[in-house]
């Protein structure tokens, strides 16, 4: 606890400094992505070699990882509850409770294997359901249960336009909206009124903007509840987007690419309308923290 005025001032100064750094990194990420897009256009036009594309892609990854280190989407606590079973407790960045976090659960599975000594095939108990997981190095796969109900088509008026999309649950509610120009969408501007739209219920929903990507992939951007902003990758949003695409006739195995640029796969284990899916992708360590005993004790 802060007990002196000087400590309060130091803390406020640190918060302001962190916000300024995040703002600068946000701008760096935008600039790096624009440079990467330009490099790809120049390469496609024969004006530069592929090394320029690789260099700009590396720059994007570097600045995005730097940005990720300045913020967290939530906090996970993992404890062993059996020889091959772990219990996950999760809170959003704003302290609110969420039944499920897809990427958080994959990270929890990896942590349970590497830090708690559980086997590579294990079960992670979430506040939604218990999920089978498999850890293969940095790649973690979850098996999610069949949907309780199919995606529901919705039409919403928000942010000065009409939106057509689908509402469904993957542990938590998701609104999936197809758009023609994914880069032209400003989630900070258009997503908040959609996220809290009265037709979505009192708790609202995560908002996913989706668009066809290259080579049959699906590109998406997600604005998350509890974080109240766009995130680099929302795991349950990836699965929601895949479920919607499969309901529209897409193949049973899809590659989806969120804002982070990572390639994530969702594969239906049968008829997509009523079968489990395997959700797989890489994980990476962006920081290691050593909380003090005082912090862990709630002091």
The catalytic site residues sit at: 101, 234
CB 168 within 8 A of CB 243: yes
CB 276 within 8 A of CB 242: no
Q: Report residue 3 as tokens.
A: 């007990």
3-state SS string over the chain?
Answer: CCCCHHHHHHHHHHHHHHHHHHHHHHHHHHHHHHHHHHHHHHHHCCCCCHHHHHHHHHHHHHHHHHHHHCCCCEEEEEEEEECCEEEEEEEECCCCECCCCHHHHHHHHHHHHHCCCCCCEEEEECCCCEEEEEEECCEEEEEECCCCCCCEEEEEEECCEEEEEEEEEECEEEEEEECCCCCCCCHHHHHHHHHCCHHHCCCCCEEEEEEECHHHCEEEEEEECCCCEEECCCHHHHHHHHHHHHHCCCCCEEEEECCCCCCEEEEECCCCCCCCEEEEEECCCCCCCCCCHHHHCCC
Side-chain-side CA neighbours of residue 9 (13 Å): 3
| Contacts of residue 224, Cβ cutoff 8 Å, sequence gap at least 6 | 73, 92, 206, 230, 231, 234, 237
* Residue 115: φ, ψ to 5°: -105, -30
């Amino acid at each position: 606890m802060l007990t002196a005025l000087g400590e309060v001032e130091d803390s406020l100064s640190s918060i302001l400094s962190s916000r300024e750094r995040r703002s600068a990194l946000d701008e760096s990420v935008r600039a790096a992505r624009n440079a990467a897009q330009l490099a790809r256009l120049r390469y496609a036009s024969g004006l530069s070699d592929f090394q320029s594309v690789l260099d700009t892609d590396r720059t994007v990854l570097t600045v995005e990882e730097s940005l990720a280190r300045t913020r967290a989407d939530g906090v996970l606590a993992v404890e062993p509850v059996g020889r091959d079973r772990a219990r996950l407790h999760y809170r959003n960045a704003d302290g609110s409770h969420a039944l499920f976090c897809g990427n958080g659960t994959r990270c929890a599975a990896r942590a349970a294997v590497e830090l708690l000594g559980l086997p590579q095939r294990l079960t992670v108990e979430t506040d939604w359901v218990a999920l089978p997981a498999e850890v293969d190095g940095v790649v973690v796969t979850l098996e999610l249960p069949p949907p309780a109900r199919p995606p529901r088509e919705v039409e919403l008026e928000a942010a000065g336009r009409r939106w057509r999309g689908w509402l469904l649950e993957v542990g938590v509610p998701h609104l999936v909206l197809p758009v023609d120009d994914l880069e032209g969408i400003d989630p900070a501007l258009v997503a908040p009124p959609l996220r809290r739209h009265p037709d979505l219920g009192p708790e609202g929903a995560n908002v996913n903007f989706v668009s066809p990507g290259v080579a049959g992939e699906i590109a998406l951007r997600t604005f998350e509840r509890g974080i109240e902003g766009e995130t680099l990758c929302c795991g349950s949003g990836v699965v929601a987007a895949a479920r919607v695409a499969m309901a529209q006739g897409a193949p049973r195995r899809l590659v989806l690419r969120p804002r982070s640029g990572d390639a994530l796969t969702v594969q239906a284990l049968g008829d997509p309308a009523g079968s489990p899916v395997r959700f797989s992708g890489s994980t990476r360590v962006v920081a290691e923290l050593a909380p003090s005993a005082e912090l862990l004790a709630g002091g």
